[in-house]
Structure 1
């Protein structure tokens, strides 16, 4: 029987890599003299066939119906995909970022959607609108109306036409002036970026402080009824209490379910496990406390005895049968109608403080605008995630969660169309997902600790916009951070010992100052057309630092500033003086096998270096950092997870709120490459 020798196998892989470099260099050399693609100008395609950039799903929704957004499609010389830009401003912005041409090549031709025969105008709310099918005109031949009264949800809109007469007619009716492409391209557009989200993140933290302080004031009400003295049960006490007063619940166990229809505070003695705690135990059916009034506060309780229904299949089925309900609607109807320790329906201003919930369903379920704050919350779910549900479920209800803990169950926090939510300073252990956002934008997920998450610590799905994921510590999970959407800011996170550190799934986003240590895979580039920046991250001790799926070359740097890659400085060159390619089989081995440096310095490798970036065939599905850092950006955080005193459980905190925009940060220009 053959014996597997790791050392021999590694040497064999390095030899094969060298042979592969020679072969690839030969192919690349032949390809360098192929016909110039600019000799054949491609025709426009259906926009649905382009890879779209520039919009979130929520803006898509705002533009449905009568509203219209002018679009651009571009053919690049070294990209096999047609890139579709939603909004002329997003295309103009991409022409200035200095990275697009490096990755995609030069634009062979760009077509703009024109509206000459589509009865262009505005909706009642002022959004630009046009009917019928539009034509496609080369951007240099079109005429544009600027500064009219038409707009999009993002602001003013540039309206293109194939003829000057059609443009002048629109300007006569809606104001503005007619200009050519040179004037449009020279204009400055206020394009929101992930750098904007970075700047807003500290404000969101302060917003959480304000919400919590306001919640404490709402909960602080004079006592009107004491259970056991003035009323026999909590339910009876709530029914007897005048609005804006407190029902005091002394220590003990209360076997009942409670419905709250007035603005009161239910204040127990504490959520602990000792004799001084106040326990409310349901009968195992439905929710234990159901809230239908605004500004209700629940404090100092330990809750058990919820039902185990996690969703309402009948509601989802009725939606499908009656209106052909969408997946989104079915999720809201299914997930929003399960059992919980505390369920709020149409009850904004809910305050939950010092509450523990032992549940086989949800800890807190919020529905229909039940905006809530939760602090000191403990939700203990099921051992197997398939048997339980969410610690907090927010359906169209904004939540602010701080200083809380979620153990077991399906997702620690699941938010669905809960824009503006904030999750901070909390701990998530043994969930499916720690924090899971769907259709939820402008949120802050900050300074949380995630441990042993089955699927991921933080997951964001369905193309939301403007989320900030900062300062989190994710360890020993399948994935650290997987965030889709657009204009996402992922910064100052510590990702250790996961199968995957983070993926660059979001478009037009910024990934910076993350410490990525000892993961099986540090980062994965997933978007087909790169449109994000990845800069100033520290990659140390990962099995593979980064991989890339199909798509254009990803340039992970910002000008002359790249990332720190453990092993990139191996060899005769000065640290940081030579580009590093984590997707190259040779460069990827440098931090594991010093002998790979010999292969890297081979004549074939140097030839391939010279050709790379000029030959389309040598660029697909790869990552390059042209300016790797000579030393980690955050050595103190790296040492905190790798040094002698490293704590496997204690989270590593990054002072991201005080970081501001020091010289060490990425610049605030438009995004470029993931």
Structure 2
């Protein structure tokens, strides 16, 4: 069977160097193994046994039953894990990425999923579909259908077949062309990536502006009923008011609960609605309701429905969350109420402030939620269950989570403040969101956390301090940029796969960053690490290369010693390098002949440093000196929130990319033709 064969001088040097440094292998390559391609070529494994890269589990689940994603599994020479790629294009693109070979070694063999006998076709939406799992065929032996009418959610569809006859049959039915592996290797793929998410962040901000403008038009309605003049209570006034009119609530305290079944605006003027401590105070069951200028208290203490049962054993956790969290008490509870507007509202509660359920998409501006002093005694400032929310200029103090969203894609949270919560912002199963320019302080677990592998989130320009963690985001295709993370136990973790972490200022944390994914697939570049007890740490897995082309990160202490900029890599996980910014004696140890030799030997073995990080070109100066100065200078204690002008910077970057797109595409094609990892031989 043919295997991938490295075809350049560096890769040949790698094979020779492995034999030369076996005496140091226990120290240098602990926790990994090296596959000798001359001894054996591994057989394919069950895809569930691979370490998966590519689309998120949410996308996979969405496609299950009616669409199929061709998959690839790859065995790398210096990696003890089989890597699974969703889609052929994502693997081909990785072959021209220098980081992949440096971190994993070269690919020994790749298998693609072929669909000769799985009734390949397309769905009514044009997605590729097949019955059952396909077989596994070595990539260079398969035949590929391209340019057909079949497509995939994340890019161009390339459909592999074992036999040419099966490929030609599918191509004839779906207007495609049959090509071989060499043609696929030389093909340029427009793979949806974290860079795409970065380019979308400014437009998502503008989308929030548009949603707010529409909400203002919705809320601006003629007055029909004035409480006290035309009706004795708010609830009676709302019931009496015609649709698309405003109920005015004059100053005073109204001891009642309110149910809204019509599309009306409730506009308070120094008015307070005080419930009796049982259940929700305001319940909305109609579309396009607006609630403005009210103060709400007297909310019941039920935070969830303890009797909510899961629909099945497999869905127990998710169902418990949706049925439980979505059925507690709230200051304002919306059920199947799309188009809700909440503006200039203050809620005091030990349960939820605003609860959105069953598609109650909402725009929230200037909301203040004062929660319980102890998070175990409270709940969420906003709970959004399957309901998109746009939040701006709001504040959440105390309680469990400031904002908790569950299956609330396309949500936007910006310009808001979170203090003394468990989590400030907590997203579950929520993708394509923008979390931008928020401030978090004294969060028990994390300022911003994203769980359950969603896709396409942008976390930009936030300021998190004095918390257990700044940003912890799982998922894929996540953009985490221009954040300011100061005085936390952990600045950020690289839990998201296929993601981009850039221009984050990470200052005075106990640990600046932690690499957590076993198979590294993200870029960490142009970040500033200053004054941290430890700049970075890594869990088990292959070497992480934190640089991109000619850019690394700025690490305080990385460039000390007798060498010029760019001559020596920086390893924040090594005992010596990690102490350079704290202990003067570490410089002497780093310059010793033994340390220099060991550095050189380490540099010859790709993928063989388990649990380690390397920046081959650490920056000589910070990328973001103004923000560093703002949080470390003499006035730092008096500084408010620090937010980078990321929209302007990303806008300039996008304009630059647009003008060079054609040249870049041509160059990428050239690069793939001369990629360091060769074709099968």
Secondary structure at the aligned position of 1:244 is classed as: coil
**C-alpha separation in 2, matches of 1:29 and 1:471:** 38
Q: Who is 1:614 aligned against?
A: 604
SS in 2 for 1:319: coil
- Paired residues of 2:35 and 2:77 also in contact (CA < 8 A): no
Q: Which residue does the alignment assign to 1:255? A: 255
Q: Distance in 2 between matches of 1:34 and 1:258?
A: 68
Further displaced range: 323-332 or 403-412? 323-332
User: Could you tell me how far apart the structure 1 residues matched to 2:242 and 2:49 are?
Assistant: 62
Aligned to 1:17: none
The answer to whether 1:577 aligns with 2:572 is: no
What residue number does 2:644 align with? Answer: 654
Q: Which residue does 1:360 correspond to in 2?
A: 350
Whole-Å separation in 2 of the counterparts to 1:35 and 1:129: 35
Structure 1 runs, 4 residues or longer, greater than 4 Å off: 21-35, 661-670
**Partner in structure 1 of residue 164 of structure 2:** 164
- Higher mean C-alpha deviation, range 496-505 or range 154-163: 154-163
Q: Offset at 1:171?
A: 1.6
Secondary structure, aligned partner of 1:434: strand
Q: 1:561 and 1:289 mapped to 2: Cα distance? A: 53
Deviation at 1:34, TM superposition (A): 8.5
Structure 2 counterparts to residues 553-592 of structure 1, below 5 A: 553-592=543-582
Partner of 2:677: none
Residue 602 of structure 1 and its aligned partner are, at CA, apart by 1.5
Alignment of 1:593 with 2:583, yes or no, is: yes
Q: Structure 1, residues 386-443: CA drift from partner, whole Å, max 9, x if none?
A: 1110000111111011111000000000011111111111100000000001111111
1 CA distance for matches of 2:334 and 2:650?
38
SS at match of 1:573: coil
Q: Which residue number corresponds to residue 154 of structure 2?
A: 154
CA distance in 1: counterparts of 2:654 and 2:39, whole angstroms: 44
Mapped to 1, the partners of 2:32 and 2:218 lie a distance apart of: 70
SS in 2 for 1:647: helix
Q: Conserved in 1, the CA contact under 8 Å of 2:34 and 2:79?
A: no
The structure 1 residue matched to 2:630, chosen from 637, 640, 656, is 640
Q: Which residue of 1 aligns with 2:111?
A: 111
**Greater CA deviation, 660-669 or 175-184?**
660-669
Q: How many residues align?
A: 640
8 A contact 1:410–1:432 mirrored in 2: yes
1:121 alignment partner in structure 2: 121
Q: 1:664/1:401 Cα in 2 relative to 1: closer, same or farther (>3 Å)?
A: closer
- SS of the residue corresponding to residue 144 of structure 2 reads strand
Show the counterpart of 1:409.
399
Q: 1:319 aligns with which of 311, 321, 330?
A: 311
Give the Å deviation of 1:122: 2.2
1:331 maps to: 321
Partner of 2:522: 532
Superposed CA deviations along residues 526-551 of structure 1, whole A, max 9, x for unmatched, are 11111110000000000100000111
Cα deviation per residue 1:545-576 (whole Å; 9 max; x = unaligned)?
Answer: 00001111111011111000001111111244
The 3 A distance-change label for structure 1 pair 103 and 119 is: same
TM-score scaled by structure 2? 0.90
Please give the alpha-carbon distance, in whole angstroms, between the structure 1 residues aligned to 2:520 and 2:32.
Answer: 24
- Cα deviation for residue 606 of structure 1 reads 1.3
Decide whether aligned partners of structure 1 residues 666 and 633 sit closer, same or farther in structure 2, where only a CA change above 3 A counts: farther
Q: How many Å apart are 1:484 and its aligned residue?
A: 0.6
Cα deviation for residue 58 of structure 1 reads: 2.3
Kept in 2, the 8 Å contact 1:495–1:516? The answer is yes
Structure 2 CA distance for aligned equivalents of residues 528 and 234 of structure 1: 57
In the superposition, relative to structure 1, how do residues 26 and 174 fare at CA in structure 2: closer, same or farther (>3 Å)? closer
Residue 474 of structure 1 is matched in structure 2 by: 464
Q: For the residues of structure 2 that align with 1:453 and 1:223, how far apart are their CA atoms?
A: 42
Determine if contact 2:101/2:606 at 8 Å carries over to the other structure: no
Partner of 1:98 in structure 2? 98
CA distance in 2, matches of 1:375, 1:569: 46
1:298 counterpart = 2:288: no
Partner of 2:479: 489
Cα drift, residue 385 of structure 1: 0.5
Separation of aligned partners in 2, 1:291 and 1:30: 60
Shift of 1:664: 13
Partner of 2:271: 278
User: Deviation of residue 615 (structure 1)?
Assistant: 3.1
Unaligned segments of structure 1, at least 5 residues? 1-20, 270-276
Question: Does the C-alpha gap of structure 1 residues 218 and 34 become closer, same or farther in structure 2, counting only changes over 3 Å?
Answer: closer
CA-CA distance at 1:23 after TM superposition: 8.6
CA drift of 1:125 comes to: 2.8
Matched residue, 2:47: 47
Deviation at 1:446, TM superposition (A): 0.5
Aligned to 2:130: 130
Deviation at 1:661, TM superposition (A): 6.3
For residue 11 of structure 1, what is the aligned residue in structure 2?
none
Q: Which residue matches 1:426?
A: 416
Say whether 1:307 aligns with 2:300.
yes
Which residue number corresponds to residue 57 of structure 2?
57
Indicate the RMSD between aligned Cα atoms, in angstroms: 2.4
TM-score (norm 1): 0.91
Q: Is the 8 A contact 2:202 2:650 kept in 1?
A: no
Distance 2:562 2:310 in 1: 69
1:662 Cα deviation from its structure 2 partner: 5.8
Structure 2 CA distance for aligned equivalents of residues 664 and 135 of structure 1: 41
Q: What's the CA shift string for 1:77-101, capped at 9, x where partnerless?
A: 1111110001101111111222111
| Aligned-partner SS, 1:313 | coil
| Cα distance in structure 1, aligned partners of 2:24 and 2:653 | 39
What does residue 71 of structure 2 align with? 71
Separation (CA, whole Å) in 2 of partners of 1:239 and 1:49: 59
Match of 1:196 in 2: 196
